[in-house]
Amino acid sequence: MANGQRIPAKMTAIAISEPGGPRVLKPETRDVPQPGSGEILIRVRAAGVNRPDVQQRKGAYPAPPGASDLPGLEASGEVAALGDDISRWRIGDRVCALTPGGGYAEYVKVHTGSVLPLPAGFTHTEAAAVPENYFTVWHNVFERGGLKRGETLLVHGGSSGIGTTAIQLAAAFGAYVITTAGSKEKCDACLRLGADRAINYREEDFVAAVKDATGGKGANVILDMVGGDYVARNYEAAAVEGRIVQIAVQGGAVASADFSKIMVKRLVHTGSTLRPRTVEFKAAIAAALEAQVWPLLGTRKVAPVMDMIFPLSDAWRAHERMEDGEHIGKIVLDVG
């Protein structure tokens, strides 16, 4: 392991003391992790907060084997130490990374394939808001969903971190974007980000609104994090040859649907989770992002929407903010 600075033996981290509400997130003193072959150690300056962190805190989304038990799936900072077989990175490089866990801490070790340079002109708090959402959206909308220029994308939860990312990327690559959100304020925010139509799901039936916006054709790709009764409604809202991509089931993992719609419309209903995938899989997404999306970030054609920033010690407040459902965009922890 190569070092360019003095690295302490101990660090402050936010641990889950027991499954439960936000207050179970408590500061702990932990050993600084040691990077192995193909890994780097990052001195964390900021960490993103994501819905899976909330699920992990509740005991519903355990860390995969070999990953840190600490929450935190994305971070930004400086390279502090190098494991063996690292060729690209140097001590002091400013980076952001997708992590399998451990982001809520002063140091985190990450496989080099999940590390990317800070986008040009970005602060660490902005960069920490990028990896989880951009990896997720790129793979699910453009790779699994196969969204093409001129097609229509329906994004559920448009004001979330995932939603604001999907809207911007789809618009940047020439798609017509429809989104759902739960208030006028959130719908207005989605429109400012590039959505062509924003549907307040509390006031409108999104199926009827999508058909109206598309001249009855429906959406070519649907990005859904709700599940539950949205499954059957997504089949109605989808175009012939439509692709529905499931990335969460916040509204329920069990649904009743008319599966003849899949046959009649020749639909594809797929889905994925990112955290347990291999380092090689994540490295391939990182390479695609650096080639296709990093130039857009560098010119601010797309950018993370920042909601609120909390100090690391107040991670519990960040989780409260996420769970109250009022946030628009990303919640980030300032690690210092």
**pLDDT confidence of residue 6:** 85
* Cβ contact 2:82 at 8 Å: yes
**pLDDT confidence of residue 2:** 54
What's the whole-number average pLDDT of the chain? 96
pLDDT at 10 over 80: yes
**pLDDT confidence of residue 315:** 98
320 CB neighbour count, 10 Å cutoff: 15
CA–CA gap between residue 313 and residue 107 (Å, rounded): 15
Strand ranges in the chain using DSSP code E only, listed in sequence order: 2-3, 10-16, 25-31, 39-49, 74-82, 94-98, 107-111, 115-117, 152-155, 176-181, 197-200, 219-224, 238-246, 268-271, 306-311, 330-334
CA–CA gap between residue 126 and residue 301 (Å, rounded): 14
pLDDT in tens, 76-121: 999 999 999 999 999 999 999 999 999 999 999 999 999 999 999 9
In the chain, the percentage of residues whose pLDDT exceeds 70 is: 99
pLDDT in tens, 235-280: 999 999 999 999 999 999 999 999 999 999 999 999 999 998 999 9
pLDDT at 174 over 80: yes
**pLDDT confidence of residue 5:** 61
CA–CA gap between residue 74 and residue 49 (Å, rounded): 8
Average pLDDT of the residues in 38-52: 97
pLDDT in tens, 280-326: 999 999 999 999 999 999 999 999 999 999 999 999 999 999 999 89
